[in-house]
Amino acid sequence: MRTLEQLKFDNTYARLPEVFHERVNPTPFPNPHLVSFNPAVAVLIDLHHDEANRDEFSDYFSGARLLPGSDPIAMLYSGHQFGHYVSQLGDGRAILLGEVKNKAGETWDLHLKGAGLTRFSRDGDGRAVLRSTIREYLCSEAMHGLGIPTTRSLCITSGNETVYRESSESGAMLVRLAPSHVRFGSFEAFFYRRQHNDLKILADYVIQYHFPLANNAENPYAQLLHDVATLTGQMIAQWQAVGWSHGVMNTDNMSILGLTLDYGPYGFMEQFNPEFICNHSDHHGRYSFQNQPDIGYWNIRAIAHALSPLLEQTHVEAAPEIYEQVFTKRYRELMNAKFGLVEQHAQDGLLRQGFLNLMHESRADYTNAFRSLNNFRQDSQDHNPTIRDQFIDRDVFDDWAAKYRERLEAERSEDEKRKILMDKTNPKYILRNHLAQYAIERAEDHHDYSEIDRLLNLLSDPCADQLSMESYARPAHSDSVPIIVSCSS
């Protein structure tokens, strides 16, 4: 394992022409200190966990010092925000420190979020607040625990600096890791500027470092688009299966690698509602839970359009259909697994929709309803009360349960074997908003960061029964004040 000074930095993106980025150093915090450190992510760059105990650690990851070999830049991109094209966005508060290659040959970008002003900051201050960094830190690791492709989070640092949003808040920085931070909007920037040569340079770069097998295709750019559509369809299917909403699926928040990127006003659904909107700023519900698959389709059309100077029109038109086919197939597989079904039958969609309708009508908790289904007994004489009692209309549930029982019998499902598989599929713990909020309040009001670490540990294995953490599986109390999250989150 390595010390901080032994991390071998490179920055291949910084070697692209100057139009792709701005060279800029982070703006440090006064008196920085470590809020939380994630040893599971440190392993990805072969960093020894004891390095977090050094005073220099906070200096390196709050901008006070540069790690040897790093070449910090702010990346240019544009994007469609709520359907409207914005010509220049870019890293307005995040700086790519560089890339670290681990002993396994994997390369990881280290992105410092909240690192200060860049030329892409527009009217912002280049900072992040403790509240938003805790939310991203915890949710990216929660998504990883659920097996969903995502950026990762190494640590949070803070310092003696106040940041102003709706009110004054503590500033903080997050170190985010990903193989690449190239976005759909990275390509859109050069397409809409008609800088097609730069568009080709970017596509060649992405293929070289992230999709090398595309070079074997008849048209490498068509293969790149095909792979992006495939990865995006798989990712959004996983979002839908766990009941998670991103909140701001703008094209500048869409990773070219199909990673969940930029955690702002996200939310795990509690009471099942297809029209769930997690973003208080989304006044028309563009990014509601039920709209996410269609927005994925829209975004693939956008990236296909951006790559069109390098493609035949048939490739451009095919990409959204590839996305839709991949999404539909993967979602069907994931949902069948949640019901403990091994085979695919023609009526599975109706069975699935029947259960979702029951949850919607009863305002049942999405995660807990599926978790309770793990214990369904085909020979039960008491109507499976732990599941049944979650629904208002018990008779309607009984009708559905009879169909479910028939379906299980059709593939000779055995309760005990099915439960083992479902216990590994249907999580018990998710990052509910009130859990994240409690961790934030402890950090902001008392400088107590223990709840962050507790959640980090819990969410790393969300399907395991952890008896001492039973209360963390419960929804927010019905009398509690709703937690509102918006784009500033």
- The one-digit pLDDT tens for each residue of the chain (489 residues) are 999 999 989 999 999 999 999 999 999 999 999 999 999 999 999 999 999 999 999 999 999 999 999 999 999 999 999 999 999 899 999 999 999 999 999 999 999 999 999 999 998 999 999 999 999 999 999 999 999 999 999 999 999 999 998 889 999 999 999 999 999 999 999 999 999 999 999 999 999 999 999 999 999 999 999 999 999 999 999 999 999 999 999 999 999 999 999 999 999 999 999 999 999 999 999 999 999 999 999 999 999 999 999 999 999 999 999 999 999 999 999 999 999 999 999 999 999 999 999 999 999 999 999 999 999 999 987 789 999 999 999 999 999 999 999 999 999 999 999 999 999 999 999 999 999 999 999 999 999 999 999 999 999 999 999 989 999 999 988 777 677 787 765
Q: Could you say which DSSP state residue 159 is in?
A: E
- The answer to whether residues 193 and 177 belong to one domain is no
Contact 36, 82 (CB under 8 A): no
- The answer to whether residues 196 and 258 belong to one domain is yes
Q: Residue 488: what pLDDT?
A: 62
Q: Is residue 466 situated within a structural domain? A: no
Of 388, 423, 458, the residue that ends a domain is 423
- The answer to whether residues 210 and 293 belong to one domain is yes
- The answer to whether residues 332 and 200 belong to one domain is yes
Q: Is residue 35 situated within a structural domain? A: yes
Q: Could you say which DSSP state residue 247 is in?
A: S
Token look-up 């950090």 returns 443
Residue 209: enclosing H or E segment and its boundaries?
helix 196-210
Q: Residue 485: what pLDDT?
A: 84
Residue 350: enclosing H or E segment and its boundaries?
helix 348-362
Domains identified in the chain, total number: 3
- Which tokens belong to 27? 């703006």
- 212 is in which domain, residue-wise? 185-337
- The answer to whether residues 316 and 365 belong to one domain is no
Q: Residue 383: what pLDDT?
A: 80
- The answer to whether residues 192 and 162 belong to one domain is no
Q: Is residue 159 situated within a structural domain? A: yes
pLDDT digits (tens, 9 = 90+) for 81-110: 999 999 989 999 999 999 999 999 999 999
Query: Shortest CA distance to 458 belongs to which of 432, 484, 480, 478?
Result: 432
Residues classed as catalytic: 252
